[in-house]
Chain A
Amino acid sequence: MKGLSLIVRTITDFVVAFIVIFGAYIVLYGHLTPGGGFAGGVIIASAFILLMLAHGKEVAFSRLGVRAAHVLDSAGALAFLIIGWLGLAGGYFFLNVFGRGEPFRLLSSGMILPANIAIAFKVGSSLFLVFAALAVFRRRSFRPMIEDDLS
C-alpha cells in the first residue's frame, strides 16, 4: 500500500506524537473529564492508522508490529478481567480494592484509572489490527469500481 503526498507525510511526522499524547491525556483523566478508556484508545489507534495511511503499511508495521498488537490486545483484555477478579477478595466481582484517594486528583477513584488504561490498550490495538487486516487485502483481480456502483 503506497503512501500519500509529501505534504501529508511531513505534517504526519509532526503531528503523530501529539496525537498519542492527547490520547493518553484523555485516557488518564477519564475519571475527571469526559473520555475514558474507549475514546482515548480510539485516538491512540488513529495515530498509528494515520502513519499507515500516510507512509504505507511497512512503516506502520515497523513501529507497531502485528504480533505486538495481538499481544497488547489480549494483555489489555486480561488486565481488565484481572481487575474484576481482584474484587473477589472482598466477595464480589469488580469490588473496588484500589485506594479511593481524594476527589478531583489524578490518582483517585479506585479502579476506574487502571480499567481505563487496560481498555485503552485493548481498543487501540484492536482498531489498529482491524485496519491492518483491511490493508493487507491484495487488489489482485479487482475490476474498476465504477461498474460496481449499482444503486
Chain B
Amino acid sequence: MTVYFLCAVLLTMGLYCLVAKKNIVKKVIGVVIMDYAVNLYLIIVGYKRGGVAPIVERGMSASTLERFVDPLPQALVLTSIVIGLGVLALMVSMCIRLYEKHGTFDMSQISKLRG
C-alpha cells in the first residue's frame, strides 16, 4: 500500500513541476517525471511477493513457473517508455526551436497567444 502512495507522490511532484516552474525545459522534465511515475505504477501492479523474473530457462520446474511476476504490465511499460521517448524528443526539439525564435526559455515571455 505504501508503494502505491509513493507512486502517487511522484506523480504529484511531476505535476507540481509542470505547473509551478516557468522555464519550459523544467516543464518538460515535469512531464517526463509524470510519465515515469505511471510506468512505475504499472510495474508495481504486476508485482507478486516472493516472485521471480518471468524468463523461462532450460530445466525450469512447474513451481518456479507459478512464482513468476506478471509479465503483461512489463510489456505495457516497454511500450510506454518508447512512447515517452518519442514525446520527449519532440518536446526538446520544440524547446530548442522556441529558444531560437524568442531568445529565452521563460514561458511568461513566450506565451503571446491569449488562449
- Minimal beta-carbon separation of B98 from chain A (angstroms): 12
- Minimal beta-carbon separation of B56 from chain A (angstroms): 8
Residues of A close to B104: CB separation below 8 A: 148
Q: How far is the CA of A133 from the CA of B92 in the complex (A)?
A: 11
Q: How far is the CA of A150 from the CA of B96 in the complex (A)?
A: 16
Residue-wise interface mask of A (16-39) relative to B, using a CB-CB cutoff of 8 A (1 in contact, 0 not): 000000000000000001101010
Q: A36's closest neighbor in chain B, by CB? A: B78
Does B3 belong to the interface (CB within 8 Å)? Answer: no
Residues of A close to B92: CB separation below 8 A: 134
Q: B26's closest neighbor in chain A, by CB? A: A151
Q: Which of A93-151 contact B (CB under 8 A)?
A: 104, 123, 130, 133-134, 137, 141-143, 148-151
The reply to whether A143 and B103 contact each other, CB–CB distance below 8 Å, is yes
Of B58, B103, B105, which is within 8 A of A104 by CB? B58
The reply to whether A137 and B100 contact each other, CB–CB distance below 8 Å, is yes
The reply to whether B106 and A148 contact each other, CB–CB distance below 8 Å, is yes
The reply to whether A148 and B55 contact each other, CB–CB distance below 8 Å, is no
Q: How far is the CA of A55 from the CA of B101 in the complex (A)?
A: 29
Q: B53's closest neighbor in chain A, by CB? A: A34
Of A34, A123, A133, which is within 8 A of B55 by CB? A34
Q: How far is the CA of A133 from the CA of B96 in the complex (A)?
A: 11
Of B23, B53, B78, which is within 8 A of A148 by CB? B23
Residues of A close to B48: CB separation below 8 A: none
Q: Given A34-B55, A151-B23: A134 and B105 within 8 A (CB)?
A: no
Does B64 belong to the interface (CB within 8 Å)? Answer: no
Q: How far is the CA of A34 from the CA of B23 in the complex (A)?
A: 38
Given contacts A137-B96, A150-B106, 6 further A-B contacts (CB under 8 A): A34-B55, A38-B82, A104-B58, A137-B100, A141-B103, A148-B106
Interchain residue pairs A-B with the least CB separation, the first 7? A130-B89, A148-B105, A150-B106, A150-B23, A150-B22, A104-B58, A137-B96
